[in-house]
Chains A and B, each alone.
Chain A
Amino acid sequence: MDLAALQLSVTLSSLTTLALLGLGLPLAHWLTTTRWRWKVLVEAVVALPLVLPPTVLGFYLLIAFGPRSPLGRAFVSATGHTLAFSFEGLLVGSIVYSLPFAVQPFAAAMSRVDPRLVEASYTLGESRLRTFRRVTLPLALPGVVAGAVLSFAHTLGEFGVVLMVGGNLPGATRTLSISIYDAVEQLDYATAGRTSLLLLAVSFSVLVLTYALQRRSLLG
């Protein structure tokens, strides 16, 4: 098995999950509390990676990372190398690609929190932020954990976006799924089989954990 690829995939998934917690929690909170009439547009954008082919997403990311886009130029002038075909580019791609897997469970769990509990907290003197920390987050925790776990597993198994944005550079952008693809191309079915089995086992455990958590939150 390609241990460098395994290490890269785990690092990528962990960082993606952390970033999605930081980005997804405020976004989900905003989506469940705003009365803005065009919020459906934001919801649709968040959900896009669910239906868009990864190659399409990867293509647009590649364009955005390129030297003709402001983002690409800014990154090159700051770091000296391009976002495309780098680990940082892969991270950005993974965050976008797994966004719905984090935000949707977050938002679903938060919208089940009784709004009167939030209002009760306001009348007891607690700010929006402190109310989120003391009431909304603890009550939505099973959904938040589920979202984080799903994002981790989803990033672990991504292929199309990685191939489009990252290519196949060992140690930098070659993830587990790319290494399986490589092994099959070289007719090394034994290696491909071991790596596939690992991904299957991880994915299955993650889903069991997620459903168990949701069941507990429904019963609790």
Chain B
Amino acid sequence: MGTLAFDLERRYLRGPTVRAALEVPLGGPPVTVLFGPSGSGKSTVLRCLAGLDEPEWGFIRFGEEAWFGPGARPIPPQRRGVGFLFQEYALFPHLTVAENIGYGLARAAAQERVARVDELASMLQLSALLARRPDRLSGGQRQRVALARALAPRPRLLLLDEPLSAVDAPTRVELRGELRALLERARIPSIVVTHDRVEALALGDRLAVLAEGGVRQVGPVHEVFSAPADLVVARVVGTENVAPARLVERREGLVLVDVDGTRLWAVEPDRLDGEAYACIRAEDIVLEPAPTAATSARNELLATVRAVAEEGPLVRVTLDCGFRLVALVTRASAARLALAPGSRVAALVKAPAIRIVPRPS
């Protein structure tokens, strides 16, 4: 399998210049998240990939095909074979759900079109709604119709622009899990644009951070979130520890998860079944002197200090407690604990301070 590779620049009159370079493998895990603050140009990049906008400069290559580049006419959106999910879904208001889904199959034989529409409708639980118009659908149903419409012509690449921003918060939690499962089932390389951390964690396999005019870091989602490569990325993704976690047991509204061999108690989130990420903000970790005797206190982690760095009034302490954990403490407590690389401490985290983001697969 090839790669989708691009390096492009788009200038705006009296606005920012968007520059982004990235390589997306087309074979491996399907979902790449393009993450960045609003105004960083994520949507512009997506529109350039679809052929809806044209970069001033650069190239876009999909496998062996040059979609955009010097000395050649850009391939129009009609011939890129790209499925695009718009932020507000952009369903055709004058067509039924069935006609919306079948829109991109105009050249297929009628029988084939009907079969494909039925197939997608049953996969996305839309079979009962085929005769409805989009204005009679809920937010979640609209999203599924938009997804079915984009998938119908069997695109080679799926582009999703803030796919969950148009629905209310409770629906969003539900759709997040659904969308991840669907993207995995569809097995089409996908690029999701979002500025929402939880969305990025729930949907993505790889994460590319777009900030201050460029792609600053690319890697597995939890790695980028827990180990930002530079200050710009750290500011964009926040200081939070993110680690893959596995459900061990449930008890009284709490869950016990396993993070690289370490057991942590956390408040149970909605729809947790198996894989998840555990997120702990660096400010929420309390450091204490390492206990001399073994302890059975909940969420007390014995750790070795790996690095200590001063950050304004605070000190950033990188710990190894089976997995990598970053804590932010005051200078006073850093001095009291005599923190230095190699020293032993206990890290305490309250259960409500551990956020579990489910990652259905």
Interface residues of A (CB under 8 A from B): 114, 116-117, 119-127, 130, 134-135, 138-139
Residues in chain A near residue B106, CB distance under 8 A:
125-126, 130, 134
> Contact between B94 and A123 (Cβ–Cβ < 8 Å)?
no
Complex alpha-carbon distance, A121 and B93, angstroms: 13
> Contact between A114 and B94 (Cβ–Cβ < 8 Å)?
no
Nearest-CB distance from B191 to chain A (Å)? 14
Residues in chain A near residue B103, CB distance under 8 A:
121, 124, 126, 134
Residues in chain A near residue B90, CB distance under 8 A:
114, 116-117, 119-120
Nearest-CB distance from A186 to chain B (Å)? 53
User: Does B149 count as interface, using CB distance less than 8 angstroms?
Assistant: yes
The answer to whether residues A127 and B93 also contact, given A119-B52, A120-B84, A122-B52 and a CB cut-off of 8 A, is no
> Contact between A139 and B94 (Cβ–Cβ < 8 Å)?
yes
> Contact between B94 and A127 (Cβ–Cβ < 8 Å)?
no
Residues in chain A near residue B104, CB distance under 8 A:
124-126
Nearest-CB distance from B261 to chain A (Å)? 46
Looking across the interface, which residue of chain B has its beta carbon closest to that of A141? B94
CB proximity to A under 8 Å, residues B78-106: 78-80, 82-84, 86, 88, 90, 92-94, 103-104, 106
Complex alpha-carbon distance, A96 and B76, angstroms: 36
Residues in chain A near residue B329, CB distance under 8 A:
none
User: Does B50 count as interface, using CB distance less than 8 angstroms?
Assistant: yes
Residues in chain B near residue A120, CB distance under 8 A:
84, 86, 90, 92, 149
Residues in chain B near residue A119, CB distance under 8 A:
50, 52, 77, 84, 86, 90
> Contact between B92 and A122 (Cβ–Cβ < 8 Å)?
no
Nearest-CB distance from A150 to chain B (Å)? 23
Nearest-CB distance from B86 to chain A (Å)? 5
User: Does B153 count as interface, using CB distance less than 8 angstroms?
Assistant: yes
Complex alpha-carbon distance, A100 and B5, angstroms: 48
> Contact between A116 and B78 (Cβ–Cβ < 8 Å)?
no
Nearest-CB distance from A63 to chain B (Å)? 43
Complex alpha-carbon distance, A138 and B104, angstroms: 17
CB proximity to A under 8 Å, residues B23-80: 50-52, 76-80
> Contact between A123 and B50 (Cβ–Cβ < 8 Å)?
yes
Residues in chain A near residue B93, CB distance under 8 A:
117, 139
Nearest-CB distance from B97 to chain A (Å)? 15
Complex alpha-carbon distance, A124 and B92, angstroms: 12
> Contact between B153 and A124 (Cβ–Cβ < 8 Å)?
yes
Complex alpha-carbon distance, A123 and B158, angstroms: 11
> Contact between A123 and B52 (Cβ–Cβ < 8 Å)?
yes
Complex alpha-carbon distance, A120 and B85, angstroms: 8
Mask for B234-261, Cβ within 8 A of A = 1, else 0? 0000000000000000000000000000
> Contact between B83 and A123 (Cβ–Cβ < 8 Å)?
yes
Complex alpha-carbon distance, A138 and B76, angstroms: 24
Residues in chain A near residue B50, CB distance under 8 A:
119, 123
| Other A-B pairs beyond A116-B90, A119-B84, A123-B80, 9, CB < 8 Å | A116-B86, A120-B86, A123-B51, A124-B152, A125-B106, A126-B106, A130-B106, A134-B106, A138-B94
Looking across the interface, which residue of chain A has its beta carbon closest to that of B80? A123
Residues in chain B near residue A130, CB distance under 8 A:
106
Nearest-CB distance from A155 to chain B (Å)? 30
> Contact between B78 and A127 (Cβ–Cβ < 8 Å)?
yes
Residues in chain A near residue B149, CB distance under 8 A:
120, 124
Residues in chain A near residue B150, CB distance under 8 A:
123-124
The answer to whether residues A126 and B78 also contact, given A116-B86, A120-B84, A121-B103 and a CB cut-off of 8 A, is yes
Residues in chain A near residue B52, CB distance under 8 A:
119, 122-123
> Contact between B92 and A123 (Cβ–Cβ < 8 Å)?
no
Looking across the interface, which residue of chain B has its beta carbon closest to that of A121? B103
* Residue contacts A-B, CB under 8 angstroms, 14 given: A116-B86, A117-B93, A119-B77, A119-B84, A120-B86, A121-B103, A122-B51, A123-B83, A123-B150, A125-B79, A125-B104, A126-B78, A126-B104, A126-B106
